[in-house]
Amino acid sequence: MNPSVIGVLAVQGAFREHIQILEGLGVRAVEVRKPEQLAELDGLIIPGGESTSMALIAERWGLVEPLRRWVHSGKPTWGTCAGMILLAEQAVGQKQGGQALLGGLDVTVNRNYFGRQIHSFEADLAVPALGDPPFRAVFIRAPAITETGERVEVLSEINSEEADDAVAVAVRSGSLLATAFHPELTADTRWHQLFIDMVEANQT
């Protein structure tokens, strides 16, 4: 098996932090700005930032259709925060006109779900898929997943003032992983390792 190459969409937002963590874990990581780069990748991270700007720039650079094809062809893709919004089949709370969603992940996201409560916060999340210690998650104007399709596995939930029940903040569905928070801003690399494992499992 060739060593994995993971791309990080580098049009806007927190892409450098993902690259550093991936390299720290011994994986080749590349900043992705051109459609033709997708062919060289085994996995792709769509980072946090601002989903409307990210979608507009991606559109201008001719990346939206190639990214859509990439995601829908079953290639391992992880969306964090704004990246999660772009992977969602449905989003509510979009700006006027909305942003071009890539889709593929059978969930409904609320774009600024926690933004209406508080700009940013940290929380200890129970994540059985990562093992015992809770994950200290950084939420920044964070979205939440308010509905999930049948095949979507909820990896972590959080209680919020706005919901009677807990809302999902991390899910996995086939080759897609999505987190509402920013794992690249903390020193705990377990989410990156989980994604690397998904990428490597897909290569064999």
Binding flags for ligand GLN, 162-201, as an x/- string (CB under 6 A)? ----------------------------------------
Q: Which is nearer to ligand GLN, 118 or 201 (CB)?
A: 118
* Residue of 21, 64, 85, 123 that binds ligand GLN (CB under 6 A): 85
Q: Answer yes or no whether residue 141 interacts with ligand GLN by CB under 6 A.
A: yes
- Other beta carbons within 10 angstroms of residue 4's beta carbon come to 19
Binder among 7, 49, 104, 183 for ligand GLN (CB under 6 A) = 49
| Interacting residue with ligand GLN among 6, 9, 44, 140 (CB under 6 A) | 140
Query: CB within 8 A of 203, min separation 6: which ones?
Result: 1, 2, 4, 42
DSSP 187-203: S--HHHHHHHHHHHHHH
81 annotated active-site: yes
Helix H, strand E, coil C: the string for 139-184 is: EECCCEEEEECCCCEEEEEECCCCCCCCEEEEEEECCEEEECCCHH
- For ligand GLN, the binding residue among 63, 67, 81, 88 (CB under 6 A) is 81
Name the β-bridge partners of 173: 176
> How many residues lie near ligand GLN (CB under 6 A)?
13
Q: How far apart are CA 64 and CA 102, in angstroms?
A: 7
Our CB check for ligand GLN shows the closer of 4 and 178 to be 178
Nearest distance from residue 101's CB to ligand GLN, in Å? 11
Q: Which amino acid is at 191?
A: W
User: Please, what is the minimum distance in Å from the beta carbon of residue 2 to ligand GLN?
Assistant: 32
Q: For residues 2 and 162, what is the distance between their CA atoms, to the nearest angstrom?
A: 46
Contacts to ligand GLN by CB under 6 A: 48-51, 81-82, 85, 111-112, 115, 140-141, 143
Catalytic residues: 81, 182, 184
